[in-house]
Amino acid sequence: MTSGSLYHYFPNKSELLKATADEIDDIVLPRLRAAVAQSDDVVEQLDTVLDESKRLMHDYPYLPAFLRAVRSESTAKSPHDGPQYPGSKALHDIVAEIVERAHAQGSLSPGTAPGPAIDAICALTRGLTEPAARLSPEAYEATLASAKRMIRGTLFAPTTKAAGG
């Protein structure tokens, strides 16, 4: 397909990207919802989101590059022109549902607001797309395991302060 024939269906690049992003969300959202439905535990749900994201990148190898391009495109626009989150709307929506449910149930740690928690988890998940494209499967699996430990709060060993210090 040539770019000329693409523009027969889409008036401009923005409309093409939007249609593609919508199509991706139609694929991603049901898969993420099904993954999250496997558990009622917030941390387990976030683990399943990371696992399903990995499977999606395997099933759709061009997905990370496309999402990176969309983020670049949205970064170039003014903050008022595009979506307020760079990347997959489906991912953002699923993470928002998990975090807001955790907040409503009182399982979000005290002093943590849902909005920044959602942004941090989405940023972590988006950040995992870069190493997925360049690391070996074993190295990526280790990176993913570290991200899961970070979410669980077990990435770092507890430190003890020296007496008198």
Q: Tell me: the pLDDT tens digits for 99-124?
A: 999 999 999 999 999 999 999 999 99
For 60, residues 6+ apart whose C-beta sits below 8 A from its C-beta are: 24, 27
Q: What is the pLDDT of residue 79?
A: 54
> Distance between CA 36 and CA 92 in Å, rounded?
13
Asked: is 8-152 a CATH 1.10.357.10 domain? The reply is yes
> Distance between CA 26 and CA 3 in Å, rounded?
24
On whether the CB atoms of residues 32 and 94 are closer than 8 A, the answer is yes
| Alpha-carbon distance values, 117 to 97, 114, 124 (Å) | 12, 5, 11
> Distance between CA 88 and CA 153 in Å, rounded?
25
On whether the CB atoms of residues 81 and 18 are closer than 8 A, the answer is no
| Alpha-carbon distance values, 108 to 30, 114, 117, 137 (Å) | 25, 8, 9, 32
- Whole-structure pTM value: 0.81
pLDDT digits (tens, 9 = 90+) for 15-55: 887 888 888 889 999 999 999 999 999 999 999 999 999 99
Residue with tokens 């991200």: 147
What residue segments make up the domains of the chain, in order of their start?
Answer: 8-152
- Between residues 156 and 82, the one the model is more confident about: 156
Helices (H), 37-136: 42-59, 63-76, 89-104, 114-127, 129-134
Residue with tokens 């988890």: 121
